[in-house]
A and B are shown apart, each in its own frame.
Chain A
Amino acid sequence: MTSRRRPVRALIPLLLLALLAACSGGAGGNSSSDGTPDPDGTLIWGWHLPTSWDPVASTAGQDVHALALAYDALVQQEDDGDARPGLAESWSYNEAGDQITFTLRPDLTFSDGTPVDAEAVRANIERGQTQSNSTIAAQLAVITGVTVVDELNVTFQLDQPDYQIPLLMSGKTGMLVSPTAAAADVDALAIAPVGSGPFVLTEYVPDSRAVFERNADYWNAENILLGGVELKPPPDPTVAVAGLTSGQFDIAVVPPAQVAAAEAAQLTVEEQRVFTVRTLDVNNTVAPYDNPLVLQALSHAIDRQALVDVAYFGHGEPNWQPFPEGYLAYDESLDDLYAYDPDTAADLLTEAGHPDGIDLTLTIGSAADQALAEQIQAQVAEAGITITIEVATPGVSNYISRQYPLYLDSFSGRESPLQALEVLFGPEGLMNLGRNSPPELDAAIDAARQVPLDDPAYAETLQTAVHTAVTTMPNTFLFTWPRLYVHGDNVHDWQHQIGTVRFEGVWVE
């Protein structure tokens, strides 16, 4: 070994790094052509491969977007979150609201030829309720029985009047899997989906890619303008723009810090309003979080707009509730509920018995949230709140262990707003770290559940439930943040959905 060569060798990675930095900011953009849809065109989509291709066994909420390629659900969500017909062309409740009958579209089949009929719906609901690794059993607990009325009509009996069922059936819970395939080898569904969605899987390499081709038998096939979709894990943020300009991806999600690079590279950035909201999960059974005044002080001490401007480069909206503005459940009266005011925060702390300030520990899940946590730390210091930032032990799920009483989190919403409230505030809710809720909140959620979605009173009862939840529970909401899609000019009519990604109308040149 010669000692003189070592520093030279050590310089090589650095030079490569500098080269990469220079390249990633370079100009470019996908070449434009005649602007006509290519019926055989494949869209390369940078998004997470699902934890399982079986919607019953899938363990991640974000899987729903990938699963929607292979499966259609009984109900679809409108852009704004309302229910619209999916595999079921209509549905109706009985007078009491404790029975719902879905009417399926005629002559539909799964990709293995099995008919999409009432019997298939019954088999799917029962599998979701009973399969040992089911992650949707809790949501299906409201259904006490399924009756096959005839080939196309199926009735669910409910344990109480509940008008949220159509919304519930628009997510993973309502996705129909071929009962033939499930009966033959249920474990095989994890890698080989058999659905009746807009696309059919042709190749799957775990952790690498999933290739789909258009399903000619899909009920809405005429609106599927893509020849296929290739799903690939999203690129690392630092090389996302390079991946898009080089054609490795046609469309991908990027973090806010990469938007400027994408725009500089002449790519199109689509800011999509979705349910995601940054929040602090709080365990109100642990001191000092058992004192609501402390949490109000903390909330008043946070300058939400500054968080959006700095940590999210202006992409987002300050928020004091779990839903974005414009969504039906959004309660306007909660705007500026705890407006930024360090003096009020200090006064509340004094009232709470902490005139000399208070020490709190804020836990983050990974270094990715460092910027946001550090900014909060500096902001609340002005009000006398000293925050120590702690990074959670790798592999620990605070939803289960609940060992960190103040946790910087993000909530991704649910198809049904009441389901969302249950997750955040319900006594069994994963994001309710104290696992308790006041009786008035349970009553408010129950009241909203019993109002039909098309009833003029629905919005108001729903917003009342949200108001009750936000003002009685410790969860502290910070801001809603959009999903930032970046694509070249070969991708057209990307759909803006508040919920599950949909491909109707999307085309590539």
Chain B
Amino acid sequence: MIRRALRARTAQVAVAFLGLVLLLVITGDLFAPQDPLAQDTGAVLQGSSAAHWLGTDYLGRDVLSRLIAGTRVSVFAALTAVVIGAVLGIVPGMLSAFSGKVATWTSLRVADAFLALPFIIFAIAVAGLFGNGLFQAMVAVGILIAPVYFRIIRAAALSHAGAQYVEAATLLGAPWWHVLAVHIWPKVLPAVVVTTANLAAGGLLVVSSLTFLGIGIQPPEPTWGGMLASDLGYLTQRPFGPVAPALAIMGTVAALNLLADAIRDASGDAGRAAEALRNPLKREVADVR
């Protein structure tokens, strides 16, 4: 499936871009041309130059170096939310395909209730309760992501739950975890991959929005959203200042979405799951039918 997906030109570009981002996440500011925290108050808000390719910020720090250093925090935070959502959503989603009427009804209503909460406002509320940290905010977002996983994986698993080979395995005495691991998991895997790529993109947008609003920032550590916010205050001095962090956010989100699309196109079932992602309620209507 992955190999088929990678035949698409868009997927190749997306993977190359994400590879670069991942490299920056792993290496941190190793490749930063300058110390991202070093201030030069004699050279603030400068445009591009040989010494500073993307110019300097309001304290004379090298913007390129800060952009590179900011990659790790921004991407890590988005991944935190996705991992928490996956852990809380995937297995319960598969199990729910086999659960009884009461458990199904209850779990679906709980999931719907969580889906109704807006990510960013919920994250700000959690930061208000548990302290202004990005980790707290992203745990909150992870909890809100879980029902998305739950819904999609349940929908994907449901179509295989009644299959004859699953019934045969159950009749032969296979325990539930064996059925899930051997017969269901491979079928829902494409949906998991597509959903993860989509949610990682969404998670990054949420991280960027929160740091843009000043939630969970840890000055002077740079974040993409934080850089975007502070650059907007100095548009007069550096009109194109916000472009670099905006492009970093946009490029990564676009790459994740393109990759998700390519994988979806390469796997039929997951395609339907991806549709459901856009409107989980639509899937619910199909379930009922």
Contacts and interface: CB of A to CB of B under 8 A. Distances in A.
Contacts of B77: none
Interface string B34-46: 0000010100100
B229 A367 contact: yes
Interface stretch (A32-40, A255-263, A461-469, A487-495): A255-263
Given A309-B41, A393-B127, A21 B240 contact: yes
Contact of A395 (B41, B128, B239, B257): B128
B262 interface: yes
Contacts of B265: 3
B246 A17 contact: yes
Contacts of A21: 235, 239-240, 242
A355 B232 CA distance: 41
Contacts of A393: 127-128, 131-132
A367 B240 CA distance: 21
B243 A374 contact: no
Contacts of B220: 370, 374, 377, 389
Interface of A: 1, 3-4, 6-7, 10-11, 14, 17-18, 20-22, 24-25, 237-238, 241, 255, 257-258, 260-261, 264, 306, 309-311, 364, 366-368, 370-371, 373-375, 377-378, 389-396
B208 to A, nearest CB: 12
A375 B39 contact: yes
B261 A1 contact: yes
Contacts of A311: 58
Given A10-B250, A375-B41, A389-B220, 18 more contacts: A3-B10, A3-B257, A3-B262, A6-B261, A24-B235, A25-B235, A25-B236, A238-B233, A238-B235, A258-B236, A310-B59, A370-B217, A374-B59, A374-B219, A377-B219, A377-B220, A391-B217, A393-B131
A368 B219 CA distance: 11
Given A6-B254, A25-B235, A14 B132 contact: no
B258 interface: yes
Given A14-B246, A21-B240, A394 B59 contact: no
A367 B226 CA distance: 8
Nearest to A21: B239
16 contacts: A1-B278, A3-B262, A4-B10, A10-B253, A17-B246, A237-B233, A306-B41, A367-B217, A367-B226, A374-B220, A375-B59, A391-B217, A391-B218, A393-B128, A394-B215, A395-B128
B276 to A, nearest CB: 13
Contacts of B218: 389-391
A130 B170 CA distance: 76
Nearest to A260: B236
A442 B233 CA distance: 43
Interface of B: 10, 39, 41, 44, 58-59, 124, 127-128, 131-132, 213-215, 217-220, 226, 229-230, 232-237, 239-240, 242-243, 246-247, 250, 253-254, 257-258, 261-262, 265, 278
A241 B243 CA distance: 21
B41 A257 contact: no
A225 B162 CA distance: 83
A394 B254 contact: no
A237 B257 CA distance: 34
Nearest to A4: B10
Contacts of B232: 238
B67 to A, nearest CB: 16
B70 to A, nearest CB: 14
A11 B234 CA distance: 22
A18 B240 contact: yes
B122 to A, nearest CB: 13
Contacts of B235: 20-21, 24-25, 238, 261
Nearest to B214: A367
A78 to B, nearest CB: 35
Contacts of B262: 3
Nearest to A377: B220
A235 to B, nearest CB: 13
A395 B58 CA distance: 27
CB-based closest 3 A-B pairs = A367-B214, A3-B261, A261-B236
B41 A366 contact: no
B127 A394 contact: yes
Contacts of B261: 1, 3, 6
A22 B236 CA distance: 9
A366 B214 contact: yes
Contacts of A255: 233
A219 B77 CA distance: 61
Nearest to B262: A3
B132 A394 contact: yes
A236 to B, nearest CB: 9
